[in-house]
Amino acid sequence: MTIQGKVVAITGASSGIGEATARHLAAHGASVILGARRTDRLDRLVTEIEAAGGTATATRVDVTTPADLQSLVDLAVERFGRLDVLVGNAGVSRISPVADLDVEGWSAMVDVNVKGILHGIAAALPVFTRQGSGHLVTVVSTSGLKIVPTQAVYAGTKNAVRTLLEGLRQESTTGVLRTTSISPGYVRTELIDNAVDDPAVRERTRQHMADLGIDPTAVARAIAFVIDQPHDVEIGDLTIRPTRQG
Ligand SMILES: NC(=O)c1ccc[n+]([C@@H]2O[C@H](COP(=O)([O-])OP(=O)(O)OC[C@H]3O[C@@H](n4cnc5c(N)ncnc54)[C@H](OP(=O)(O)O)[C@@H]3O)[C@@H](O)[C@H]2O)c1
């Protein structure tokens, strides 16, 4: 089985990389189950995907709530009979030096970027085990590969997930589970909108993203590539960044 006919749940599907991935996979014949908090956006996306001949459904998911991830996985199984892939994409970023002590922002990043992935794993793994196959794809970041000032905590959360997936991979050599960490560089999305409080810094950062960032569809294609491999082939890590990114 390739992408055609696969059942793929995506967190953070209401904008950016998640939305682009939903559109791309649905256009290639996957049935997509979309989760995020902004359900108005999800509903619009489902309508657009279906109008284009695709198959999609959505439910409200706050990844900090384990029961919401369970509902996302349950919806996939109830509606389509199985879950082939969970794309753990939902994420938040707060950019500031550690010495600024943005304790609230740190907690938000840990809750969404790390615990959100763990909640997805808890919901999906039993289904994957029952089926005898499944694929966990997480969206981490080049921030974890090249550590830069103001992104220490964000990078830490992304590297926590990278480590988690490598550990899980080593525990899962029965051929049932595939794990992949995708590391995007700058991508033109809404991520920056809530990342910085200072309006001048936010505008500068937004401009930088707009100048340098790649289109989220590029990451969607990378996600499609890892999903599309035969089940005995696992792409563990994939880095995708603007050619001009340092
Ligand atoms: N843009 C980049 O340059 C870049 C680079 C590397 C990695 N990434 C990673 O890519 C992923 C997607 O981000 P993006 O760039 O596409 O930004 P985005 O447009 O801001 O999308 C973030 C998504 O996460 C969802 N989300 C946030 N908090 C959530 C929560 N508590 N529960 C459920 N969903 C939540 C948002 O949906 P709701 O607000 O509707 O819930 C939204 O759909 C993130 O993990 C990010 O860290 C981005």
Alpha-carbon separation of residue 3 from 142, 225, 243 (angstroms): 26, 9, 27
Query: Does residue 104 belong to any structural domain of this protein?
Result: yes
Task: Name the closest-CA residue to atom 30, ligand 1.
Answer: 62
Q: Is 189 in the pocket of ligand 1 (CB under 6 A)?
A: yes
Query: Does residue 234 belong to any structural domain of this protein?
Result: yes
Nearest-atom number in ligand 1 for the CA of 213 is 3
Residue 77 CA, ligand 1 centroid: distance in Å: 24
**Any idea what the CATH number is for the domain that residue 168 is in?**
3.40.50.720
- Tell me the C-alpha distance between 13 and 17, whole Å: 7
Query: Does residue 233 belong to any structural domain of this protein?
Result: yes
Mean pLDDT of 1-6: 87
Q: Is 57 in the pocket of ligand 1 (CB under 6 A)?
A: no
Give per-residue pLDDT as tens, 138-196.
999 999 999 999 999 999 999 999 999 999 999 999 999 999 999 999 999 999 999 99
Contact (CB, 8 A) for 184 and 91: no
Q: Which one of 114, 157, 191 would you pick to mutate in the ligand 1 pocket, going by the greatest count of ligand atoms within 8 A of its CB? A: 191
User: Kind and range of the H or E element at 73?
Assistant: helix 66-80
Residue 16 CA, ligand 1 centroid: distance in Å: 7
Gap between the terminal Cα atoms of the chain = 37
Contacts of 240 (CB under 8 A, 6+ apart): 182, 183, 184, 185, 214, 218, 219, 222
Which residues are paired to 183 by β-bridges? 239
The residue segments making up the domain with residue 111 are: 7-240
Give per-residue pLDDT as tens, 199-244.
998 899 899 999 999 999 999 999 999 999 999 999 999 999 999 9
Rg (CA), the chain: 17
- Tell me the C-alpha distance between 8 and 31, whole Å: 6
Give per-residue pLDDT as tens, 93-131.
999 999 999 999 999 999 999 999 999 999 999 999 999
Query: Does residue 1 belong to any structural domain of this protein?
Result: no
Q: Is the pLDDT of residue 20 over 60?
A: yes
Set 80, 128, 154, 186: catalytic member:
154
Q: Per the structure, how many domains does the chain have? A: 1
Q: Is 9 in the pocket of ligand 1 (CB under 6 A)?
A: no
Q: Is the pLDDT of residue 9 over 70?
A: yes
pTM of the entire predicted model: 0.98
Nearest-atom number in ligand 1 for the CA of 140 is 7
Structure tokens at 116: 């959100």
Query: Does residue 113 belong to any structural domain of this protein?
Result: yes
- Tell me the C-alpha distance between 49 and 237, whole Å: 29
Strand order in the sheet with 55-60: 55-60, 31-36, 7-11, 85-88, 134-139, 177-184, 237-240
Contact (CB, 8 A) for 60 and 35: yes
| 154 carries an active-site annotation | yes
Task: Name the average pLDDT for the chain.
Answer: 97
Query: Does residue 246 belong to any structural domain of this protein?
Result: no
Widest CA span in the chain = 52
Query: Does residue 46 belong to any structural domain of this protein?
Result: yes
Cα torsion 216, 236, 135, 177 to 10°: value is -170
Phi and psi angles of residue 181, each rounded to the nearest 5 degrees, phi first: -110, 120
Query: Does residue 235 belong to any structural domain of this protein?
Result: yes
